[in-house]
A and B are shown apart, each in its own frame.
Chain A
Amino acid sequence: MAYALQQLINGLTLGSMYGLIAIGYTMVYGIIGMINFAHGDIFMVSAFIAVTAFTLLAAADVTSIPLALTFVLIVSIFFTSAYGWAVERIAYRPLRGSTRLAPLISAIGMSIFLQNTVQLTQGARVKPIPPVIEGGFEVWSTPDFTVQIGWSQLMIIAVTVVMMVAFTWLITQTPFGRQQRSCEQDRTMASLLGINVDRTISFTFMLGASLAAVAGVMVTVYYGVIDFYIGFLAGIKAFTAAVLGGIGSLPGAMLGGLLIGLIESFWSAYLWAEYKDVATFAILCLVLMLRPSGLLGRPEVEKV
């Protein structure tokens, strides 16, 4: 029981991170109807920026953890959203209005490009940083097992909740959110009504990238090691989460992320850890077969 509770906590932590990345997929999919294949790599870039920033802070002898975290988050969000913007500008905007597959291919090319850029400029070896947040507290103690919540886990879950609330507010309450939703509905009509569609799409990519940046910082804090290959797996897991929850839906992405995180942590705890990715994909297939538009997605309307 205690063991299961611990898995629940670990799963929620993992799921929060997947959820954060998944929101980026969902937002981009909502507005242009395409997978941003380079999103996982943007997340990876943000983790590298976070490592550099943490190392800089360590060299400058900054000991206050909240200060350090805020600084790293701001730096990472700034640079990562520039990457998100650049990906849209280079790989998507010139291809707007062409076949569906063309931007997909250019995004895959972008993903390969980013991965190799990082590998060449930052090295292929894993980057360890000293633990930023240590310790935690005991929730429950039985004779043979102690359930612990790390401070970093608590922080990740808290940050995710804050981000989720902020983004829901942004999409539903602000002028930008209104523009974004109108572009989702009908891009031509929105542009006729004076909305700068290009700028809205760019901004959506930047927002998605900043969420990936937050996730990248969290991963760096939580695991303490990163390498240039983490983007691929995190990317497909997060995309799986987005599809599972119903792509295009913000709460769906979060729910999907949490489900994937929980499934993964329970599967590796009780069954075979090496097959945890198989479980993720198998469950994805099952859900899609039974509910093709995802758990919280709107059913697709076929236009004839």
Chain B
Amino acid sequence: MSTVVFARHQITAAERFRDAGWVAFVALILGIPLIGLTTVDGGGALEVSTRFGTLAIFVVVAFAGRLGLRWMIDTMGARKLERQRATSGKSAGISPVKVVNILGWIALGASIALPIMYSDNRYVVDTATTVLIYVMLGWGLNVVVGLAGLLDLGYVAFYAVGAYSYALLSTQYGWGFWEALPVSGGLAATFGILLGYPILRLRGDYLAIVTLGFGEIIRIILVNWTEFSNGPNGISSIPRPSLFGLDFTRSPAEGEQTFASFFGIEYSPMHRLIFLYYLILVLALLTHAFVSRLRKLPIGRAWEALREDEIACQAMGMNTTNIKLSAFAIGAMLGGFAGMFFAARQGFISPESFTFTESAIILAIVVLGGMGSQMGVVLAATLLVLIPEFGRNFSEYRMLLFGAAMVLIMVWKPSGLLSHREPTLRLSTGSAASKDAVKETAQ
């Protein structure tokens, strides 16, 4: 009989260097055609120019980076292993669900206080508004992807429908923000059903590619149908939303009052920004309340059941078509609201804003956050909006950083940042052990 010995293979320095050298070699091959060589205009024809200095730096960075990364992963892995052995059997003190709840309340408090603290900083409030738009979009798509498990790559289409319906209603027919809100949401939901009905037989990647195609169709129509959507020029001078009829303009129109004159305060362009911020905050919170209510209702449970096992659902006699359609319609409606707010905030929309990249970003927010996790969406949206913002100093690298961050976060945490969720069902009595047993993790 041999005894089991817990031993780890000690990685020698030579092995580390060989590994890093291999990575540097690959970096060299990858770098030669794109970094080492480039073509430049040389009087009519292209000429090849070389950048071997940059290539050398790139290879050295790859070598050093690999050494550092490998070392970090190894030491962290060893520590984690030791910690696990030391505390095997015991769970960490306070449950992750509780932490997320506390985090949620802190985030809510911070988001209410934010425009007050930064009332003179246009940039912060603007960025926070963008984050909230993405949070709302993420919560909308979360219904489709996170809860119902339907992979939708064309979500931006509903965002576009909401935005264009408000833009057209307001500029052509003079509708106000609040009158158009239900109509835009309804139109987006209708589009959701129109798309959903024929294709819900499909699943997985087939569904993904068809929804992607649908998103592109909407965009191509918006670009080409000039009489309807003004084509690539977009629609400008979309009226801004008002606070119960109080506009946010400098001087009041005939017989009307503005926000500033009504409250007797000095006019400041910040008022509108802050108002818009609170508007999207309220919309997002309503979305959150709506979705978390739905999750406790039979329809929400049906979505999650469908995500886990479609065949079992059919065997139980559930009407899977209607359940999927309802998820599509509700997700689309929430996207429509977000799109409408986007149009009202920008005052200008064009098909440029509704490309596939946007769909990919929203999907990334849902998956990064941990599918089905509401707080995860907030975290991921904040992260994905802020990464490009931090990168603004070297602005041309923004999207590069964004792409790299998407890959790295996924590789680091494949099931999303917050994969623990509040269980929809919990045993009413019982010990901590049985609570642990029903705790579900997002997969």
> Which residues of A pack against B, CB within 8 Å?
29, 34-35, 45, 48-49, 51-52, 55-56, 58-59, 79, 82-83, 85-86, 90-91, 94-95, 98-106, 108-118, 120-123, 127-130, 232, 236, 239-240, 243, 247, 272, 274-275, 277-278, 280-282, 284-285, 288-289, 292, 302, 304
Contacts and interface: CB of A to CB of B under 8 A. Distances in A.
Contacts of A91: 407, 410-411
A70 to B, nearest CB: 18
A302 B214 CA distance: 27
B311 interface: yes
Interface of B: 26, 29-30, 32-35, 37-40, 45-48, 145, 151, 198-199, 201-202, 204-206, 208-210, 212-214, 216-217, 220-221, 223-224, 311, 356-357, 360, 363-364, 367-368, 371, 396-397, 399-400, 402-407, 410-411, 414-415, 443
B172 to A, nearest CB: 24
Contacts of A110: 403, 407
A101 B367 contact: yes
Contact of B30 (A86, A105, A120): A86
Secondary structure call for the B interface: helix
A220 B223 CA distance: 27
B51 to A, nearest CB: 8
A98 B123 CA distance: 39
9 contacts: A35-B205, A55-B47, A99-B371, A99-B443, A100-B204, A108-B364, A115-B399, A115-B403, A130-B45
B213 A113 contact: no
Nearest to A35: B205
Nearest to B311: A304
B266 to A, nearest CB: 44
Contacts of B217: 277-278, 281-282
B337 to A, nearest CB: 25
A285 B210 contact: yes
A129 B33 CA distance: 17
A235 to B, nearest CB: 10
Contact of A106 (B29, B402, B407): B407
Contact of A52 (B45, B48, B411, B414): B48
B363 to A, nearest CB: 7
A132 to B, nearest CB: 13
A277 B220 contact: yes
B199 to A, nearest CB: 6
Contacts of A58: 45
A128 B217 CA distance: 29
Nearest to B402: A112
Nearest to B398: A116
B34 A122 contact: yes
Given A101-B151, A109-B406, A113-B400, A128 B220 contact: no
A128 B46 contact: yes
B331 to A, nearest CB: 16
B367 A52 contact: no
B400 A274 contact: no
Given A277-B220, A284-B213, A55 B29 contact: no
A117 B34 contact: yes
A130 B38 CA distance: 17
Contacts of B400: 112-113, 116-117, 120
A91 B46 CA distance: 34
Nearest to A113: B403
Contacts of A59: 47-48
A101 B149 CA distance: 10
A299 B377 CA distance: 36
A129 B303 CA distance: 53
**Nearest 10 CB-CB pairings of A with B:** A109-B406, A113-B403, A281-B213, A112-B403, A98-B414, A106-B410, A102-B414, A116-B400, A109-B407, A49-B33
